[in-house]
Structure 1
Amino acid sequence: MLKHLHTLSGHQNPVYTLINSPKEGSFFTAGNDKGVVEWSLETMSFVKVLVPVQSSVYAMHCYENLLFIAQKSGLILVFDLEEQKVRTTLSYHQKGVFDLKTLAYKQELISTGEDGNVAIWSLNDFSLLYHFQVISDTVRTIAISRDEKEVALGCKDGIIRIYNSEDYSLSKELNGHKFAVTALQYTPDGRQLISGSRDAQLKFWSLQGYELVNNVPAHMFSIYAIAFHPSLPYFATCSQDKSIKIWGSEDTKLYKIMSLEKNTPGHFHSINKLIWSTDGKYLISTGDDRQVMVWELT
């Protein structure tokens, strides 16, 4: 089902985030190094250092030709991929920014992180439109529902807070995890929200009544990412336990484990992020071992 194809090396320090480029066949990685790196899936090789950064990069997000780069310093770089230059720097957060998402229908960027605040930015002129405090501690992850009506925030206190995207009013609190919520994804069919946590559990919430409908003890340690395949009924998870797991979207059955402990190729340290390539041919993973691994879907 999945086979290890390539290991791309070059990062000197832990890698925290990776994202597909809008240009097909390439992707970006960043972490505790001095820049964002571009890689080619066609040649399976390093392309270039895209943009230098002043502090660690915790998250990236692409919208059209813009790459938003969230840093430990609290600053967010806005990099124009067409012009290949930094367009502006967004400054509001006093601590590290852990996640970024966009609401296309409102032309807004949402940022959050270690300060427990959410900032809303205009995609038109990059002005700060609005900000509010969620908790006094870290907000780790953001998920946007398929219809863009909801913004879900995974918080350090184990609670998932759901906000109405129109006016950012709090509509629901989902309380089920013992520890910090570290990964969140709405299912592609729009029926459920899946959360992963430091408690190593995957929880499935029905969007009809926000009921907890399933709980899977998925990993040994924190779950750091949940990624749905773009067209097939599978999703992948990765964890601090150094494993990648492939699950059925419809039956939540475990189909494959990639881990050195299971005698397959794998990472030898915490896996911080994974994504599917835009065409769904590859799964790409990275983490504290500084390696970027490319897996082929067979």
Structure 2
Amino acid sequence: MMKVEKIDTFTGHRDCIYALEKTGEKQRFFSAAGDGFVVRWNLQKPDVGELIAKVGHSVYALSYLQEENQLWIAENFEGIHVIDVETKQELRSLKLAPTNYFDIQIYNNQAFVAGGDGVITVIDVDNFSFRKHIKVSSESARCLTINPVEREFAAGFSDNSIKIFDLHTFELKKVIEAHTNSVFALKYSPDFRLLLSGSRDARLKIWNVEQDYSLEKEIVAHTFAINNIAFSPDEKLFATCSMDKSIKIWDAVTFKLLKVIDRARHAGHGTSVNKLLWSDYENQIVSGSDDRTISVWKLS
């Protein structure tokens, strides 16, 4: 029997929380919100948030580069800021098209940025220059996930599709008519054999990568949009979070629902849960919400 305990709530953001990202240390993580604040928190000292950066517009996406100890911030309507976490100084910035930026994934010296104009921008990390603008939809690119094994990356769009690209040539390899509404969440399984997608249609779908992304399973997982998917460090479980204010814990092999974390049962969030981070620190789950709080959950 799985038990869930809420162990902390972090407050301080003045707007909805959209992004959570790991740091180089197990016990710390970053958050970003509609207030333009980027904050570093310590799971061992819950009441002390440390301001890392402040930008003029909301932030939906962060990506941490551990080797350089740099944080990439995607500021909506502006572009990318690269922050030296140690000194909190901005090292460089890159102006992008005036739209929302929903996701950044960095792999192998390339940063992929998903834009509200339907463009995926590929940036050379070392030279900090544009490598490619990939335009395959007039609807927003909402989420990205990378599969180094198959040398592919997947993008979820507001045209309800998942599009699969070659990781090196950026060529479009496959279009999956995946959902009946925007695809907000995408995650390859830790062994890269499955692709999990979550949508505004509240459905969770499992695609078999090795069988040309055939649909393996469809689950009516939530009552409103699925915003994010996160795997546990031991890879045995994963969590989904939703606009329905809940977090759900699933078995990563059987896809059986194991636990629902919500307001009624666990003093969960009062509004949409936008982002999850499954921390290596004591297996804690961190969740960020429209209610401007970050909650920390312990599973046992």
The reply to whether TM is greater than 0.5 is yes
Aligned counterparts of 1:232 and 1:2: Cα–Cα separation in 2? 18
The CA deviation at 1:84 is 2.3
Q: Which structure 2 residues correspond to residues 147-296 of structure 1 after superposition, within 5 A?
A: 147=149, 149-209=151-211, 210-261=213-264, 263-279=265-281, 281-296=283-298
Pick aligned residue for 1:44 from 46, 55, 61: 46
Aligned partner of 1:93 in structure 2 is 97
Quote the residue 2:70 is aligned against. Answer: 66
Q: 1:229, 1:279 → 2: CA distance?
A: 11
Question: Given that residues 52 and 85 in structure 2 are in contact (C-alpha distance below 8 angstroms), is that contact kept between their aligned partners in structure 1?
Answer: no
Note if contact 2:77-2:100 (Cα within 8 Å) is conserved in structure 1.
Answer: yes
Q: How far apart are the structure 2 equivalents of 1:146 and 1:297?
A: 30
CA distance in 2, matches of 1:178, 1:283: 29
Tell me how far apart the structure 2 counterparts of residues 23 and 231 of structure 1 sit (CA, whole Å). Answer: 18
Task: Name the amino acid aligned to 1:38.
Answer: R
1:74-124 per-residue CA deviation (whole Å, 9 max, x = no partner) reads: 4111111233211111212221111100122xx111111101111111111
Gaps of 5+ in 1: none
Counterpart contact for 2:77–2:96, Cα < 8 Å: no
Partner of residue 142, structure 1: 144
| C-alpha distance in structure 2 between counterparts of 1:138 and 1:204, whole Å | 22
Residue 27 of structure 1 is matched in structure 2 by 29
Q: Would the alpha carbon gap of residues 115 and 74 (structure 1) be closer, same or farther in structure 2, given more than 3 Å must change?
A: farther
Contact 1:146 1:186 in 2 (8 A): no
Partner of 1:114: 116
CA distance in 1, matches of 2:193, 2:232: 16
Distance of 2:278 and 2:255 partners within structure 1: 18
Which of the numbers 127, 131, 140 marks the counterpart of 1:125?
127
Q: Percent identity?
A: 36
TM-score, length-normalised on structure 2?
A: 0.95
Q: What residue is the counterpart of 1:83 in the other structure?
A: 87
Compared with structure 1, are the counterparts of its residues 279 and 147 closer, same or farther at alpha carbon in structure 2 (3 Å cutoff)? farther
* Larger mean Cα displacement after TM superposition, 61-70 or 212-221: 61-70
Partner of 2:244, secondary structure, is coil
Counterpart code for 1:151? F
Compute the TM-score of the two structures, normalised by the length of structure 1.
Answer: 0.96
Moved more, 44-53 or 224-233: 44-53
Corresponding residue number in structure 1 for 2:107: 103
Q: How many residues align?
A: 295
Let me know the Cα RMSD of the aligned residues: 1.3
Q: For the residues of structure 1 that align with 2:246 and 2:15, how far apart are their CA atoms?
A: 20
Task: State the AA in 1 paired with 2:71.
Answer: L
Structure 2: give runs of 5+ residues left out of the alignment: none
Secondary structure at the counterpart of residue 266 of structure 2: coil
SS for the counterpart of 1:132 is strand
State whether residues 13 and 37 of structure 2, in contact with CA within 8 Å, keep that contact through their aligned partners in structure 1: no
Note the C-alpha offset of 1:146.
4.4
Change (3 A) 1:147 1:80: farther
Could you tell me whether the CA contact under 8 Å between 1:230 and 1:280 is conserved in 2? Answer: no
Q: Which residue of 2 aligns with 1:6?
A: 8
Q: Distance in 2 between matches of 1:136 and 1:176?
A: 17
Write the letter of the residue equivalent to 2:210.
Q
Report the 3-state secondary structure (helix = DSSP H, G, I; strand = E; otherwise coil) of the residue aligned with 1:208: helix
Aligned mates of 1:179, 1:34 — CA distance in 2: 28
Structure 1 residue identity aligned to 2:268: G
1:46 positional shift: 2.2
**Alpha-carbon distance in structure 1 between the residues aligned to 2:121 and 2:163:** 15
Residues in 1 aligned to 2:178 and 2:110: alpha-carbon distance in whole angstroms: 30
